[in-house]
Structure 1
Amino acid sequence: MARYKAAVVIPAKNAMQVLPQVLDKVLAQRTAWPFEVIVIDSGSRDGTKEFLRAESRIRLIEIAPESFGHGRTRNQGVAAADAEFVAFLTHDAEPVDEHWLAKLVEAAERDERIAGVFGRHIAYPSASPFTRQDLDQHFRGFLQHPLVVHKALDAEKYQRDEGWRQFLHFYSDNNSLLRKAVWEKIPYPDVEFAEDQLWARAVIEAGYHKAYAPDAVVYHSHDYSFTEQLRRAFDESRNFTKYFGYRLSPNPRQAIAAMGKFTWQAFRQRLDPAYGPVTFTDRLSRAAQRIALVSGHCLGANHSKLPQGLADRLSLDNRLFKS
């Protein structure tokens, strides 16, 4: 019998700008049962480790930077957790209210076949209007389907429809919770990217269910620079090709056409007034981000054709694992 109903695991590195606020929200969670909080620090140099060592309510696990892996480190956190359920946050994902954790567990307890639950993300108030709208639209789309999904909903569609498979294995460890008994059979893969979606695909194909908890909400958003967006899109596309066989924007001519389309949209699109006024700078940044996104996807889908040195310079993953 596990000691706790749930544990919250947060991988962290050089996170002092955001982690204290995140932990304040986590420790303030209101539940009918006790929970533990585990932070795994991989070599912080900005005071994060010292802050965590002084916090008696946090269980700190320190690992060497070179031992970090997205799947490997989360496996370490789950193994350390003495809990029935293990929730994940990234160190920059802040629960919106005091009921975030209870809502994730509530969703998981609806059916013992539910292996994992993911919650909703909303943008930080400081995010651009486009980022706020993108996140809202993305997570609103999950409400068009059952909150609990599994392969048997339409096994034939799962075999033939790539988009349906992508939908079924969408999962985000920025805001998620898994059932430890399932993890003991199907742990996270030790990969450099998409450990969460690879795990979700594995449990879906094993016959388990996945749930969406729209009321378990975190603030989590980024307004990337052109270079950041390009590199992240490159890794996303390269690894989706590697692990899932999906090629994002592989045709250079189509990619150029898409860049033109997205640039036009950036300067012409009308946003809901609820997202606030849209400045020329917002539109210029949006155009640059969309160009970087499509460029990165195209380069990533064709990474095998690039000189190895260029591919290494483009990849944030390689920089992470070599640092």
Structure 2
Amino acid sequence: MPELPESVSVVMRCKDEAWAVGDTLRMLKDQDYPGTIQLVVIDSGSTDGSVEIIRAAGPDKLIEIQPHEYIPGVVMNRGARECDHEWIVYLNADATPANRQWLRELLLPCLQAPAFGAGFSRQIPRPDCQAVFAHDYDRCFGPERESKHWGHFFSMVSSITRRSVLEKEPFREDLQYAEDDEWTRRLLAKGYQVIFAEESVAIHSHNYTLKQCFKRSFGDAKAMAATSTTHPSDVNLHYFVALGWARDFLKDVKWCLKNGHLTGIPRAAAVRLSQRLGRRKGHHVGWKHYHRDQNPPAPREA
């Protein structure tokens, strides 16, 4: 078994998460880890008492920014610069370590990777998580997870990297969504390994409204269009939205039947449609935004 590093830095992002940050901080402090844990918190204008809870926990650094200043890549790059140690963990304020071994189990498989670039924890939903979103966590992190067969999957919510990696490959600072997806795809393309630390578990979930589902799907798709090779004509209403929605919903129905969540089926139908519509619009907008040079306007007639 590899020897654990003597110290790690944890960068925690927070915005109005007083309902969870106290538990997250307590579990972080109670980790079965023999070394030093430096805590750097960046709060993006919380008004719900989060800052007071964080201050009471005594972080090594608390950086307060305004909500309009929050750009994920900017914040994560800044957080890394504020850290004193080589190993840097990113932990969302609402992602509570499930046990005292969370940090140890996040580090161990990454220490054994010869070309380590980044690693991420398994996530399990909270007890109040709606069925459609609990199904997503099962698809991404469960024992029979679909994510094994996806072209790529990564989550920044509970993750780890090294200062030396970030110095060579920092986060892009022009993306408002999907910055972690772009970053880890770039790492893989340059020969780094991205590790799924399955034994490291964080509790994390959200019950998004339909409007939030559309917004998040739109934002992710717009950002991912920066590197996508899929033409907007292929992200259409009849195939991508209608048939894609049917496939998504059928999987939800099977999962709900298997796991006894029949009342969650109607909600799943609405959520999947909202997501598909958001992804379609986001991809079209993102393609236009990032690929303007490939689609010059037609010349005006004289």
Distance in 2 of aligned mates of 1:143 and 1:257: 19
Matched, 1:213 2:215: no
User: Which AA in structure 1 matches 2:269?
Assistant: A
Tell me, yes or no, if structure 1 residue 258 matches structure 2 residue 247.
no
The separation in 2 between residues aligned to 1:56 and 1:305, in whole angstroms, is 44
The correspondence of residues 1-80 of structure 1 with structure 2, limited to 5 A, is 5-80=7-82
Change (3 A) 1:142 1:115: farther
The 5 Å alignment of 1:171-210 reads: 171-190=154-173, 191-210=175-194
Q: Check whether the contact 1:40–1:60 (CA below 8 A) recurs between aligned residues.
A: yes
CA RMSD of aligned residues (A): 2.7
What amino acid does structure 2 have at the position aligned with 1:301? Answer: H
CA apart distance, 1:109: 0.8
Q: 1:101 to 1:270 in 2, by over 3 A?
A: closer
Whichever residue aligns with residue 205 of structure 1, its letter is: A
The runs of 5 or more residues in structure 1 that have no matched partner are 146-162, 309-323
Partner of 1:278: 261
Greater CA drift, 250-259 or 73-82: 250-259
- C-alpha displacement at 1:209, in angstroms? 1.5
2-side partners of 1:252 and 1:189: how far apart?
A: 31
Cα deviation, residue 99, structure 1: 0.8
How many Å apart are 1:68 and its aligned residue?
2.1
Compute the TM-score of the two structures, normalised by the length of structure 2: 0.83
Residues 240, 246 of structure 1: 8 Å contact kept:
no
Q: What letter is aligned with 1:129?
A: A
Alignment of 1:107-186 (within 5 A): 107-139=109-141, 140=143, 166-167=151-152, 170-186=153-169
CA distance in 1, matches of 2:223, 2:115: 29
> 94, 105, 108: which is aligned to 1:106?
108
- The 1:264–1:71 alpha-carbon spacing in structure 2 relative to 1, beyond 3 Å, is closer
TM-superposed CA distance for 1:297, in Å, is: 1.5
How many Å separate the matches in 2 of 1:117 and 1:47? 31
Contact in 1 for aligned 2:12/2:90 (Cα 8 Å)? yes
Deviations 1:36-74 (A, max 9, x none): 111111222222222322322452122233332101111
**CA shift at 1:88, angstroms?**
0.7
Change (3 A) 1:115 1:262: closer
1:288 to 270, 273, 277: 270
3-state DSSP of counterpart to 1:243: coil
Judging changes above 3 Å, is the alpha-carbon distance between structure 1 residues 34 and 292 closer, same or farther for their aligned structure 2 residues? same
Match of 2:283 in 1: 301
CA contact (8 A) 2:41 2:61 kept: yes
2:89 alignment partner, SS class: strand
Q: Which moved more, 1:135-144 or 1:69-78?
A: 135-144
Structure 1 contact 52–58 (Cα < 8 Å) conserved: no
Task: Verify the 8 A CA contact 1:262 1:291 in the aligned structure 2.
Answer: no
Asked if structure 1 preserves the Cα contact closer than 8 Å seen for 2:22 and 2:54, the reply is: no
Aligned partners of 1:240 and 1:247 also within 8 Å: no
Gaps of 5+ in 2: 290-302
- The two structures have a TM-score, normalised by structure 1, of 0.78
How far 1:221 sits from its partner (Å)?
A: 1.6
Q: Are 1:130 and 1:286, in contact at CA under 8 Å, matched by a contact in 2?
A: yes
What are the Cα deviations for residues 155-194 of structure 1, in whole angstroms up to 9, with x where unaligned?
A: xxxxxxxx87x42xx3211011001111112111112122
User: Cα distance 1:261–1:214, how it changes in 2: closer, same or farther (>3 A)?
Assistant: closer
Q: Alpha-carbon deviation of 1:4?
A: 5.3
**Percent identity for Structure 1 against Structure 2:** 25
- Aligned-partner Cα distance in 1 for 2:131–2:242: 25
Q: CA deviation at 1:141?
A: 5.5
Letter of the 1:101 partner, please give it.
L
